[in-house]
A and B are shown apart, each in its own frame.
Chain A
Amino acid sequence: MSAVLTQQVAAGLVLGSLYALLALGLAMVYGVLRILHVAHAGVFAAGAYAALVTAPRVGAWGGVAAAVGVCAVGGLFAERFVYRPLLDQPPLVPLIASIGLFILVEDLLRLVFGPYIQAFPIRPPLQGLEVAGVRLTGNDALILATTALLLGGLYLLLHRTTLGLAWRAVASDLEVARMMGINTNRVVALNLAVGSALAGIAGVLVALYYNQVYPTMGSVVGYKALAIIVLGGLGSVLGTAAAGLLLGVVESLLVAQVGFVLPRDAIAFIALILVLLARPRGLVGGSA
């Protein structure tokens, strides 16, 4: 590969890491509840604001902790008061409730913090570095390392712990898992908390990367994350991470190499429509 190409792939991987982190929470929620958690994007934006507000007072790590905390609580709230009572309704009902919740959160952020773009106060004191001829900024390296760490941690949690076993049992069949004596409510709540915490970290990283925080920052990337979890086979954690990274790279290459005529944000949806027409259950999902 030429040096330029490698550089673009690296940029795509950084972007894809952000997509993957945000989409993972969605995939986890879909895995156990079979609900499209559109409001996840609102949780993500709330996380960025939590860090924005607290970081100047309690420092960068305090800001991250606040983002994680606010998001986890937000996810728990959505599960307990909106999704759990709607589990026996047809899928359109929780979907619309989630859309409503998203609009609510987004507009609440606009009313409280104002509609304008704010600069992010955290500046990690990181040097850029060069790995195998690819130049990464400090933020790039931070995003890649954090994502790798979180993905690895999540994989271990799912496949090496009792909790992960219970989690996978609930994902494969909630009713049967309950009959086997698993406290499904607790597992689902924990799932929402962990997934939302990931969205909080994604919120901080995105705010850091673009140095922007604004109320609708969750919209487009959130809708894209929905496309990603469908591409990743709805509910598959590994598939979602792979689809997120892949989308980042494809976007980066299409825009830079081909000079794609449509905005990069349309690529995810075009890919989604094409893939679904060919494979109605997603890239990774089983046959329909």
Chain B
Amino acid sequence: MTGEYALTVGVFTGIWVLLAMGLNLVSGYAGQPHLGHAALYGIGAYASALLTTRSGLDPWVAIPLSVLLASAIGLALSAVTLRVRDDFLAITTMGVNFVVVAVFLYVPFFGGAYGIGGVPPPRLLGVAFDRRAYFALVLGAVVLGALLDRWILRSWLGAGLVALRDDELAAEASGVDTRRFKVVAFGIGSGHAGLAGALYAHFAGFITPQDFGFPVSITVLCMVVLGGIGTLRGAVTGAVLLSVLPELFRFLLNYRMLLYGLLLVLTMRYQPQGLLGEGSALVGFLRRRAVGRPPVPRAEEVGRAAP
């Protein structure tokens, strides 16, 4: 790999990691099935692209605004999650993805099938970001997202989210306001997706509706599930693995979707916790290696079905 090429792969990997962290908040921590994550990704990208090309805003202003917009739409979407559950929610969010892509594709304001071109890169002191600078920017965004994630999980919010995932009825019975936690998870998770979208738009320079279709939602889900849903390390590892491996093994490119499908089926069948999820074989092995004796399962791991 040449340096420029590696930097490009790095930028895209960072964007996938942001997406995976966002989905992990909704589906992992809060346990809400979400098959429309790419819709929020697209909303962030289109918002930032339109704000800079049509309204002439500076990317540094447009990107945060797009994150806020994606968050706000995610919050609105959570109104749906308050009414429907489980399988119904999975289908509804899938529907949202199709409707959003259809709007991008058929409403002339969004540029139709050709999308939006000429999205400017961000500038610092009058100099446009090159690949190296952009990679640093994406890396910064990922670190920021990860820190936010960790902070959330350690706070009262995290406790509420995990209670919601493990047993919604029991959480409600124990006085957890599950509605509030669902709303928060969707809001922040969508913000992650919006940031990923804005970063994508300003890096690629042009965007089309197909960049944010249902298969993208499935790819993100695939990353989170493979790495280990419900853990930050799992989401990050899954995203890095699935975005870097196809670049390293180019001859596999034609079989990429086949492998994704196979990985999903096999992971669900034999290791539904994913590679690095809580209670997975690999994590158990590493813990035993680290401690030198079989671990005593922590109370929260006992009797908890994954994910």
- The answer for the CA separation of A262 and B209 in the assembled complex, in Å, is 14
Known: A36-B87, A102-B261, A263-B106. Is A270-B99 also a contact (CB below 8 A)?
yes
**Which one, B9-17, B48-56, B61-69, B90-98, is touching chain A?**
B90-98
B299 within 8 A of partner (CB): no
Known: A96-B268, A266-B102. Is A277-B33 also a contact (CB below 8 A)?
no
A227 within 8 A of partner (CB): yes
B255 within 8 A of partner (CB): yes
Query: Which residue of B105, B107, B264, B305 contacts A99 across the interface (Cβ within 8 Å)?
Result: B264
Contact B87 A234 (CB under 8 A): yes
Q: What is the interface residue range for chain B against chain A?
A: 35 or more
Per-residue CB contact flags for chain B residues 13-34 toward chain A (1 = under 8 Å, else 0) read 0000000000000010001010
- Total number of A residues with any Cβ neighbor in B under 8 Å: 49
Which secondary structure characterizes the binding site on chain A? helix
A94 within 8 A of partner (CB): yes
A272 within 8 A of partner (CB): yes
Known: A89-B305, A226-B94. Is A96-B262 also a contact (CB below 8 A)?
no
B269 within 8 A of partner (CB): yes
Contact B269 A92 (CB under 8 A): no
A95 within 8 A of partner (CB): yes
B74 within 8 A of partner (CB): no
- The answer for the CA separation of A91 and B272 in the assembled complex, in Å, is 12
Question: Within the complex, what minimum Cβ distance (angstroms) separates A32 from chain B?
Answer: 14
Cβ contacts under 8 Å, B255 to chain A:
107, 111
Contact A94 B91 (CB under 8 A): no
Known: A36-B90, A100-B262, A100-B265. Is A276-B80 also a contact (CB below 8 A)?
yes
- The answer for the CA separation of A269 and B93 in the assembled complex, in Å, is 10
Chain B, range 272-307, C-beta contacts under 8 Å to A: 272, 305-307
Query: Which residue of A88, A108, A230 contacts B91 across the interface (Cβ within 8 Å)?
Result: A230
Cβ contacts under 8 Å, A104 to chain B:
258, 261-262, 265
Per-residue CB contact flags for chain A residues 80-105 toward chain B (1 = under 8 Å, else 0) read 01100110111111111101111111
- The answer for the CA separation of A263 and B98 in the assembled complex, in Å, is 10
Contact A103 B91 (CB under 8 A): no
Chain A, range 237-288, C-beta contacts under 8 Å to B: 261-263, 265-266, 268-270, 272-273, 276-277, 280-282, 288
Query: Which residue of B79, B88, B260, B262 contacts A230 across the interface (Cβ within 8 Å)?
Result: B88
A209 within 8 A of partner (CB): no
B263 within 8 A of partner (CB): yes
A106 within 8 A of partner (CB): yes
Known: A89-B305, A95-B33. Is A280-B221 also a contact (CB below 8 A)?
no
Residues of B bordering A, CB below 8 Å: 27, 31, 33, 79-80, 83-88, 90-92, 94-96, 98-99, 102-103, 105-107, 214, 218, 221-222, 225, 229, 254-255, 257-258, 260-265, 267-269, 272, 305-307
